[in-house]
Amino acid sequence: DTAVSQTPKYLVTQMGNDKSIKCEQNLGHDTMYWYKQDSKKFLKIMFSYNNKELIINETVPNRFSPKSPDKAHLNLHINSLELGDSAVYFCASSQAHKSYEQYFGPGTRLTVT
Amino acid sequence: GQNIDQPTEMTATEGAIVQINCTYQTSGFNGLFWYQQHAGEAPTFLSYNVLDGLEEKGRFSSFLSRSKGYSYLLLKELQMKDSASYLCAVSPLGTPLVFGKGTRLSVIA
């Protein structure tokens, strides 16, 4: 069984479009995250979310918004896509008290043309 | 703010030992962690140090010196499958993990 899954695995779209990436975890974790990994392989936190608190990296544009329908899902919605948004986006999850041990999804490679 | 430094690339021979260093400056400290990421794959958790000293886990060991803001990951008996990026990450107080840019390790025959 896949612990953390993301869809789609690849996403190619044009500038200005709105898109969503879905993430689901079946580990029973209470905290989920979104990361962006750019072409230089730098992994940067975008959001951290549990049912009590959303922590946003202040450098993330407000075109990006996380949406959590329930504890097992944290989707990433992106408005007005830009060329610089092209990257691999990873979803991850952890127990709140073990935030260092995160389980990552397989990643979504987003290409904006 | 947070700053994490580690070498960009390293090369080592199969069967050898390699040490990957990481220095950090953070506002508050809740621990230091190492992740492994193979090309095209997701990062996977390797180790966690919150107190000074060496933590051993099979062929991998991780060391921490909080006073020096320094850690290293030691890989013994290198295998070809150890070729990957190794990400050092710290947990500042009250915020999620901050990752370094990673060290790409190439293991050669």
Amino acid at A91: C
B81 class by beta-carbon count within 10 Å (0-12 exposed, 13-18 middle, 19+ buried): exposed
Q: Is the Cβ–Cβ distance between A13 and A35 less than 8 Å? A: no
Nearest neighbour of B97 by CB, restricted to A40, A45, A106: A45
A33: contact with B, CB 8 A cutoff = yes
What are the pLDDT digits (tens) for B55-100?
Answer: 998 999 999 999 999 999 999 999 999 999 999 999 876 667 889 9
Nearest neighbour of A41 by CB, restricted to B42, B91, B101: B101
Q: Is the Cβ–Cβ distance between B13 and B23 less than 8 Å? A: no
What are the pLDDT digits (tens) for B32-66?
Answer: 999 999 999 999 999 999 999 999 989 999 999 99
Specify the length of chain A in residues: 113
Region A62-78: what's the mean pLDDT?
93
Region A42-65: what's the mean pLDDT?
86
The CA-atom distances, in angstroms, between B83 and each of A29, A105, B11, B36, B109 are: 30, 20, 9, 9, 11
